[in-house]
Amino acid sequence: MESTAPTGSSIEPVKADTQEVLVVGGGAIGTAVALELARRGARPVLVERGSALAAGCSAGNAGLICPSHSAPLATPSALRQGLRWMLTPDSPFHLRPSPALVPWLLRFAAASTERRAEASARLIRELSRASLELHAGLAGEGLDTGFERRGILNVYESKTGFAAGRKEAEANSLAGMRPRVLAAGDARDVEPALGPDMAGAVLYPNEAHCDPLRFVQAVGRAAAHAGAEIRTGVEVLGLRRRNGRIAAVETSAGELRPGSVVLAAGAWTPRFARDLGFFTPVQAGKGYHVDVMPAPGDPGIPVFMQESRVIATPLAGRLRLAGTLELASLDLGIEARRTDAIVAAARRVLPRLGAPRVLELWAGLRPCAPDGLPLIGRPAELENVVLATGHATMGLTLAPITGRLVADLLAGEAPGHDVTALLPDRFRPLLRRLSASRLRPSRAAPPARV
């Protein structure tokens, strides 16, 4: 069954007295939610404003499924490094100064402590390991996601970087992973595409990658086969709130009246949140990829170049070079100096690349919460809404487990993991724009405020 459906005014309203769920967003998170709900007997309706699924950032990421990279965006080292990188236009991290970005940066700085970073990393690692097995299960069912469990190789060009990689490997080893710390020569034995100018590497042999576009398409087809309605080319124009609920959703194809709504619209989720009167401090973090023509000397496993934060992933018919994080609002423009920096970093570590033939230049917007944790859960002031956004660079890795957590919440079941730290209400505006009369106390124990 195809993962898309005809667009137009033929969408039937979802009756408010049923248990139907509207999922807003057709990326990795939205399709995973729709699949999990449909397999539990619900009849979710997924709407995606693009002409096909994966019209946003889900199509173009590096494709890694890697519990070893569980550090949140907000860490002490990220704060220090980010301050240095801000002054370098072609660095792995960049931001465009804007008054609107200041509150996000203040929250990011406040979250960048050792204690909070360690707690967040433990939670992300736990969720990532569970999600990796769910990825493997989907592939085992026959879903054509391009899933390959060949391992991921972290490569370090400097002695300082390699020392940090060994320290990270020790922590991951204590958490039950089995990393292999490799000297430079041993790393080249594992991956002959590597050049001589590196200090060492760490191999995570049990980790995996997939083709992100194929993942979303395959999960969308499976969701439709299980009973979900997949509607592409349908844009959500507005949400009507009444008595602490979303009563109706206005779309480009007519009005919908769902029983519950899942907001999985990535970097565009805050727009809906503002319309509904709750606060979601998610910023768009632009990432790039450069797809190049495959060649005999390409790496056979994903290579994560740690100092440059560039990833080379072998995919069918191309080698994907992906990287950078640029806080640039909702701008999707491609800057040549950013893509040139990605290619230059890859050529430094993988000298056989030479002057590769470029197949595609791409940019997408990752939804980034300031503390580096996703937002998964119900906002206190709306009883029939669940958020599933803010996954930053971990959206593909965490998609299957996010689908399961959201389905648990909608079913009124206790989630299989403690999601208290992920609740949307952990954030409050620095300048309160909402009067106390518009907010209701949360039914759950209040999470830490940021």
Give residue-wise pLDDT tens across range 57-101: 898 999 999 999 999 988 888 888 777 776 676 777 777 778 888
pLDDT recorded at residue 438: 38
> 16-30, 164-178, 322-336, 386-400: which has the minimum mean pLDDT?
16-30
pLDDT (mean) for 423-436:
69
Instruction: Give 313-326 pLDDT, tens digit per residue.
Output: 999 999 999 999 88
pLDDT (mean) for 280-299:
94
Query: Looking up tokens 């990825």, which residue turns up?
Result: 135
State residue 164 phi and psi, 5-degree precision: -65, -35
pLDDT (mean) for 374-393:
95
> 114-118, 276-280, 366-370, 404-408: which has the minimum mean pLDDT?
276-280
> 99-108, 227-236, 364-373: which has the minimum mean pLDDT?
99-108
**Tokens representing residue 28 in the block:** 């990795």
pLDDT recorded at residue 437: 34
Instruction: Mark out the alpha helices in 283-425 (DSSP H runs).
Output: 336-349, 395-410
SS3 state of residue 392: helix
CA 152 to mean position of chain CA atoms: 18
pLDDT recorded at residue 51: 95
| Partners of 230 in beta bridges | 46
Among 93, 153, 77, residue whose Cα is nearest residue 323: 93
Percent of the chain at pLDDT > 70 equals 90
To 5 degrees, how large is the angle CA 89–CA 357–CA 315?
90
pLDDT recorded at residue 18: 40
Q: Which is more confidently placed, 432 or 348? A: 348
**Tokens representing residue 51 in the block:** 């002409």
Query: Looking up tokens 């194929």, which residue turns up?
Result: 214
Instruction: Give 22-62 pLDDT, tens digit per residue.
Output: 999 999 999 999 999 999 999 999 999 999 999 988 989 99
**Tokens representing residue 38 in the block:** 């449909």
Q: Which is more confidently placed, 431 or 290? A: 290
- Backbone angle region of 21, left / alpha / beta, with phi > 0 → left and psi within -120 to 50 → alpha: beta
Cα–Cα distance, 258 to 224 (Å, whole number)? 18
Instruction: Give 396-425 pLDDT, tens digit per residue.
Output: 999 999 999 999 999 999 999 999 999 999
Q: Are 274 and 289 in contact (CB under 8 A)?
A: no
Bridge-based pairing of strands 208-209 and 64-65 is antiparallel
**Tokens representing residue 432 in the block:** 């309160």
Give the end-to-end CA distance of the chain in Å, rounded to a whole number.
Answer: 44
pLDDT recorded at residue 407: 96
Cα–Cα distance, 74 to 76 (Å, whole number)? 7
- Amino acid 119 reads A
Among 182, 215, 184, residue whose Cα is nearest residue 64: 215
pLDDT recorded at residue 95: 76
Query: Looking up tokens 């995996």, which residue turns up?
Result: 208
State residue 250 phi and psi, 5-degree precision: -90, 125
Query: Looking up tokens 């920096």, which residue turns up?
Result: 341
Cα–Cα distance, 126 to 59 (Å, whole number)? 25
Q: Are 85 and 195 in contact (CB under 8 A)?
A: no
SS3 state of residue 232: strand
Query: Looking up tokens 């465009």, which residue turns up?
Result: 96
State residue 321 phi and psi, 5-degree precision: -110, 115
pLDDT of 125 > 70? The answer is: yes
Strand ranges (E), 328-401: 358-368, 375-377, 385-389
pLDDT recorded at residue 332: 87
Query: Looking up tokens 């079941």, which residue turns up?
Result: 413
pLDDT recorded at residue 331: 85
Instruction: Give 198-255 pLDDT, tens digit per residue.
Output: 999 999 999 999 999 999 999 999 999 999 999 999 999 999 999 999 999 999 999 9
Neighbouring residues of 174: CB distance < 8 A, sequence distance ≥ 6? none
pLDDT of 265 > 60? The answer is: yes
Cα–Cα distance, 199 to 155 (Å, whole number)? 8
Could you tell me the CATH superfamily of domain 1-90+111-147+209-277+368-450? Answer: FAD/NAD(P)-binding domain (3.50.50.60)
User: In what helix (H) or strand (E) does residue 228 lie, and over which residues does it extend?
Assistant: none
pLDDT of 431 > 70? The answer is: no
